Structure 1
């Protein structure tokens, strides 16, 4: 080689220096734009769904909390997000709206024009009410669309967000596709234009894809999938019903460009995977998990993977229905088999009318009127309750023992005693007939003292009568006494 050929011209040196400067400038710009970025703190998640659809439990699972606290109205929580690669962490805000339709007015506090581009929406439905899944998804999607129409969003911003969702759908790649350009799963559209966004926008979307593009990242979460076992055993659900439900849910996700998760907090299925997917969609963390469609209770379909051709695989198990059949005609709410027995309502009858009816019943049955106490010239009242039967002869001025007397036990003897007092004339102390005299004691026993011996017998008889009175005072009412007790 000649010496002249080894000499580089000044123009060549200038070109080489310019190329080195451009190389270093691009490296510095890349480091400045991507190397030192902090995790943004403005990102948030909005959770929508009916009551009892598992919203609170799902958020608690994402937080790593064992005991979820359920509130009302519009709840706020946050999830700690950490980037170990950059040694950075931030808080992801989470808003949970109550399922009551009356709380829809609280949506502006969670999703405003300023937070629109930083919000990811989770729509929750539960497998415990499979007949209402599609209706609830359509309802909350309609509520979300109506709310966005009321916001004063910049037209260019909303259009840019819609284009971002379309680009995300086009740019989806199966894990490993980026390392293997010849992979048959890689879409041919990615080879066109080499990153030209205008060319990507001109590529038509697959059938029934993003027909309702709201400009929001959406994730549909079907909770409590462990209940499928109950549906199969109790409600006699088969693969046909489960596949019919899944194809309708996936068609809904296609329309809104949403990802799909089947989760079970009870069995801890897909909860950690949902957390990783959220950080991937919101913060750009790496995510290497492919779609999961084998386990019927742990389905995962990332946004951008599905299409109608893949959904049609589920049609093979449908023999008694068609894919386009109305959802509610095939997945119907089961009638509760347990009969609820309710006590008949009793109307309280007016007291007086009730008593009149009872009186008429007693008279029609031939019941005798209640017996009364009949005492001649006696101040005793006939209001005592218990029945005591006395049998004996009637004596003038004394208790009629031939009648049934309603007095407590032992009081008939007292009545006889007081009758004797009333029929005797008052006497002075020490005279015959005075209280405490032998004649008085004889009157109490119903005998007439004639001799001293008889007087002594009458005294002992009076003492015995008093002893019987004291002992019979504790007897229960309703005991029949013989006339000899008198």
Structure 2
């Protein structure tokens, strides 16, 4: 009896310690959130991870950047959610990366949608402003693929999807400036009902669409002839179809800070600091931000007159997808009267625009625009190399400076002589002319003729005398003729000096 009592006491003590250790372990366990990143290439996905984690090249966080494995099929990386002081870890994000909407990836994606993971999962779709004419077709392919995967889940996972959407739809409609839900004049438990076109086609998980490289908007306007109407059309179209899924929208650029991080945290119900308050923006075309549970048909029409009803109905037709084979569905099945067809009629691939091609000369080679940051980096390298050359060649510049003179070689500062400078100025400005007695006289030409005559007279005075008089030329006559030439030369030189002193900055006769 005593042995049995001792064994029972030991068992109770072990159970007590086990429960205590379990409680401590669960209290230290970090909340896990999952983000499924769809679309974009390997570089675009890394840009998204860097923007979400705040990893800029000059940031102190760069050393804590986790590796990103996204070269093949299903990629993965993780991020830590830190507190306001950037010290304690509040949660951990697991990012799963898929580039291509291929039905062959379905077996890789299905394990991500379990009843335990679904309540803490966000779907992010990456689009690129370098090819905005492909947005609707890409979005349709991904929506069809996700719907096909969700249809193959077990009953427990489907029930979890329904619970997630019910909780998401139950969010109040007014999204406040601070990131909290604010309904003026209403009690906290009162919810505004859904508006028309909102959550008509629930996906099952919250969706965020990120349009990257928004700095390419300026390139489309400058080189492809896009106008404000095209940019507004794209924005209104995307807002209309995303409203049907209760999705969010944001434009991002690598060179511009964005609200991507607080938007993702809000979608995952993670804490957001007051410094990162979300503010909707549909006016600045490069910084668009549509938070969850904020948009409506009325707000879409404010920007410009738009057929939200027709576009919404067309999108429902596009994604009403019943593949003949669930294992290998054709995600590009064409649909008549869908929203994709309407979108691509207006937003076309401008790279092959015949009207723009007709303006280019035949045989011309079209050069792609160089990124501004790459251009500036190249120029910086050139300037640095020039600076190094000047430092290394500074000791040998004294000999060249001593040889510098009017019309001489370059001096140590790299400038030419005064006479050569005046010559370049005259070549740029043109001949100096004067009006003498109603006759336009070219001063430079007149000086040249006088100098040529003096040179000819000094070389062959006998021929000059024979051609100019019947007798031999006297020394006095030659001297008088030479003095007259000098007087004429000085006269025209003085005219040029007076006329060109202010414009040329120096005398041509010196």
The TM-score, its normalising length taken from structure 1, stands at: 0.53
Distance 1:161 1:90, change over 3 A: closer
* C-alpha distance in 1 between matches for 2:306 and 2:345: 18
* C-alpha distance in 2 between matches for 1:226 and 1:39: 41
Q: Give ranges in structure 1 of 5+ residues lacking alignment.
A: 1-35, 342-486
Q: Corresponding residue for 2:300?
A: 311
CA contact (8 A) 2:164 2:204 kept: yes
Q: How large is the Cα RMSD of the aligned pairs?
A: 3.4
SS in 2 for 1:60: helix
Larger gyration radius, structure 1 or structure 2: 1
CA contact (8 A) 1:239 1:317 kept: no
Question: 2:189 matched to 1:195?
Answer: yes
User: For 1:322-333, what aligned pairs fall within 5 Å after superposition?
Assistant: 326-333=342-349
Question: 2:265 matched to 1:279?
Answer: yes
Paired residues in the alignment total: 287
Q: Corresponding residue for 1:71?
A: 71
* C-alpha distance in 1 between matches for 2:27 and 2:269: 11
Q: Corresponding residue for 2:202?
A: 213
Distance apart, 1:172 and its partner CA: 4.1
Distance apart, 1:126 and its partner CA: 0.7
CA contact (8 A) 1:293 1:301 kept: yes
* C-alpha distance in 1 between matches for 2:30 and 2:306: 46
Distance 1:340 1:119, change over 3 A: farther
Distance 1:71 1:42, change over 3 A: same
* C-alpha distance in 1 between matches for 2:73 and 2:180: 45
Q: Corresponding residue for 1:233?
A: 222
Q: Corresponding residue for 2:177?
A: 175
* C-alpha distance in 1 between matches for 2:193 and 2:36: 30
Distance apart, 1:312 and its partner CA: 0.5
Question: 2:248 matched to 1:245?
Answer: no
Question: 2:154 matched to 1:165?
Answer: no
Q: Corresponding residue for 2:243?
A: 254
* C-alpha distance in 2 between matches for 1:103 and 1:177: 36
User: For 1:60-459, what aligned pairs fall within 5 Å after superposition?
Assistant: 60-63=50-53, 64=55, 66=57, 70-84=70-84, 87-99=88-100, 101=102, 102-154=104-156, 155-168=158-171, 170=172, 172-175=174-177, 186=183, 190-191=186-187, 194-195=188-189, 200=191, 204-265=193-254, 267-270=255-258, 273-286=259-272, 288-316=277-305, 326-336=342-352
* C-alpha distance in 1 between matches for 2:160 and 2:137: 30
Distance apart, 1:82 and its partner CA: 1.0
SS in 2 for 1:89: strand
* C-alpha distance in 1 between matches for 2:125 and 2:89: 29
Deviates more, 1:204-213 or 1:284-293: 284-293
* C-alpha distance in 1 between matches for 2:178 and 2:36: 31
* C-alpha distance in 2 between matches for 1:125 and 1:187: 35
CA contact (8 A) 2:80 2:89 kept: no
Distance apart, 1:212 and its partner CA: 1.3
Distance 1:38 1:171, change over 3 A: farther
Q: Corresponding residue for 2:455?
A: none
Q: Corresponding residue for 1:27?
A: none
* C-alpha distance in 1 between matches for 2:148 and 2:249: 23
SS in 1 for 2:119: helix
Distance 1:317 1:296, change over 3 A: farther
Q: Deviations over 1:412-447 (max 9, x none)?
A: xxxxxxxxxxxxxxxxxxxxxxxxxxxxxxxxxxxx
CA contact (8 A) 1:219 1:258 kept: yes
Q: Deviations over 1:250-291 (max 9, x none)?
A: 0122011111110012x1341xx1112222332431362220
Q: Deviations over 1:360-391 (max 9, x none)?
A: xxxxxxxxxxxxxxxxxxxxxxxxxxxxxxxx
SS in 1 for 2:304: helix
Distance 1:73 1:65, change over 3 A: farther
Distance apart, 1:109 and its partner CA: 3.8
* C-alpha distance in 2 between matches for 1:71 and 1:300: 30
* C-alpha distance in 2 between matches for 1:53 and 1:258: 24
Q: Give ranges in structure 2 of 5+ residues lacking alignment.
A: 1-25, 315-338, 365-510
Q: Deviations over 1:297-353 (max 9, x none)?
A: 1100101111010100222599xxx99981000001124459999xxxxxxxxxxxx
Q: Which has the higher helix share?
A: 2
Q: 1:55 aligns with which of 41, 45, 51?
A: 45
